[in-house]
Amino acid sequence: MSGLKIALAQLNFTIGDFESNTAKMADVLFQAKQDKVDLVVFSELSVCGYMPDDLLDYPSFIEKCEHALEAIARACDGIAAIVGGVIRNPGKGRLLQNAACFMYNGKIQHIVAKTLLPTYDVFNEHRYFQPETTSQIIEYKGVNIGIAICEDLWDVYNDFEYPVSPGQALKELGAHLIINPSASPFHIGKQSLRNRVFGGQAARFDLPVLYVNQVGVHTELLFDGSSRAVNGNGEVVIQAPSFEETVVYADFVDGKFSVGKSVPLDTDDTAQLYKALVFGIKDYFSKMGFTHAILGSSGGIDSAVVQALASAALGGDCVHPVLMPSMFSSDHSVSDAEKLSANLGNEAITIPIKSLYDGYMEALSPVFQGKPFNLAEENLQARSRAVLLMAISNKLGYILLNTSNKSELSVGYSTLYGDLCGAISVIGDVYKNQVYALARYINRHEEIIPVNIIEKAPSAELRPGQKDADSLPDYDVLDELLKHYIEEKKGIEELITMGYDQTVVNKVVALVNASEYKRYQAPPILRVSNKAFGKGRLMPLVAKYPNR
């Protein structure tokens, strides 16, 4: 068996930006040729970006994808590449296939289509693609290469087992190496899961596995890269960094990878979470052409953490907190928010909302007359703030960041057209206790978020003396229940059997189910858990919930 020098091209692609995507790949190919590389491996759907969704319904999009693949093939003179793209299905079924094209000598020499099409959580590939039913081996420079695209190596690592195993088929065909071009989104715990999958599959088939993942933000999905080379004994011998565009070289000699460049990955959940969210904000703004962010700064923990994350991602001078105290805002909330902005280098804007609120109340007095203060007046304060934030956003071109956390979104503890406004939800997949952990992590070297913000009891400050605990269970209990119900899909009876108070369980589940209509109208949420609100959790609005 001959040897190969392989480049793992962990790049940040933009959906539909064929010119930029192909230019990046051409640059990598040029440098790889100078470095005597034999084969460059790019990630899944690299020419068009993952996942184009209904852009795939447009013939012009498919034509551009085909032209991009041909352009990259022409650059493969004296070097080979595996490039992900969309091809037209030559047989019956769906019109398209998700494919990896093996290129050299200026042409596409082999096309391998994806067999296992994920259709769960955030994935819906069966909507667009026809699965492959056969496997093939590609012989290149004496090495029998098997290509298994992303899910093709996850046949036994889901809540279910696929009826076929592409990896096993490649083993039986005589593969010396399995290459896994992927578009594998990040969530907390994904690194250890990948260790189990790739180490387990390499050992299962007694074959080395090369995993190449993309980096970047595609709407709510965060792709972290973390590409790697794993030998047949399951040992990771090359590890690329997370959330970083890079190209790593691997030497495949005598049926195994030599030990190469590796970067230790963060194993601490909070450190990973911080890195993911900062990267998510930065890449979202970059790809959308945005430069400045705005947010409501209340002096509370949620807005403080989002403000700190945004400042780390964009720079303090590009983040514009707006302080909007009301008659119920405490003095320390204002001073805490001012101190935070000073620590982060943000130029804060202060606009009291009492006169605006009073104007609304005067206009509404014929309707509200004689009726006691209740949720309507509380929500009116939140909506008054949203009006100001959106006005500034429109006038100055700043992008509004939503600051609601997952605990609040779960139980509806947020105001529609108020604090639910925003272009992107930064911590909408982060539970309240994780928000506190992030705050402590941000302060690990120095006090950036004032300690008083972290230590004081959380409150929306929409009525005198209001505290979150007046309406919700303690966050230690609430977050546990929410995780069991939303992410682990446990029902009421099971939760009660686990030891949770029946009254609390019934209340929390009812709140989650009753708040679905709000989440339908929430901004896109940066996904950092294995079950985020949005496209990964589709619930009907008009339904009788079995757990209600």
What is the helix, strand, coil percentage profile of the chain, to 5? 40, 20, 40
One-letter identity of residue 331:
D
143: Cα separation from own chain's centroid: 36
Catalytic pick among 44, 125, 151, 378 = 44
Residue 449: other Cβ atoms inside 10 A: 22
Query: Tokens 């992008």 appear where?
Result: 399
Under a CB-based contact definition with an 8 Å cutoff, are residues 116 and 162 in contact? yes
Distance separating alpha carbons of residues 362 and 431, to the nearest angstrom: 38
Under a CB-based contact definition with an 8 Å cutoff, are residues 76 and 103 in contact? yes
412: Cα separation from own chain's centroid: 22
Under a CB-based contact definition with an 8 Å cutoff, are residues 80 and 90 in contact? no
Query: Tokens 């080979």 appear where?
Result: 80
Active-site annotation holds for 150: yes
380: Cβ contacts below 8 Å, ≥ 6 apart: 357, 360, 361, 364
Catalytic pick among 24, 48, 65, 114 = 114
One-letter identity of residue 548:
R
Distance separating alpha carbons of residues 41 and 7, to the nearest angstrom: 6
Choose among 423, 444, 462, 409: nearest CA to 302: 409
Point out which residues pair with 425 in neighbouring strands. 402, 525
275: Cβ contacts below 8 Å, ≥ 6 apart: 242, 243, 266
Catalytic pick among 101, 150, 151, 190 = 150
The three state secondary structure string of 195-237 is HHHHHHHHHHHCCCEEEEECEEEECCEEEEECCEEECCCCCEE
Point out which residues pair with 313 in neighbouring strands. none
Active-site annotation holds for 65: no
Query: Tokens 């979470």 appear where?
Result: 273
Distance separating alpha carbons of residues 143 and 137, to the nearest angstrom: 10
Catalytic residues: 44, 114, 150
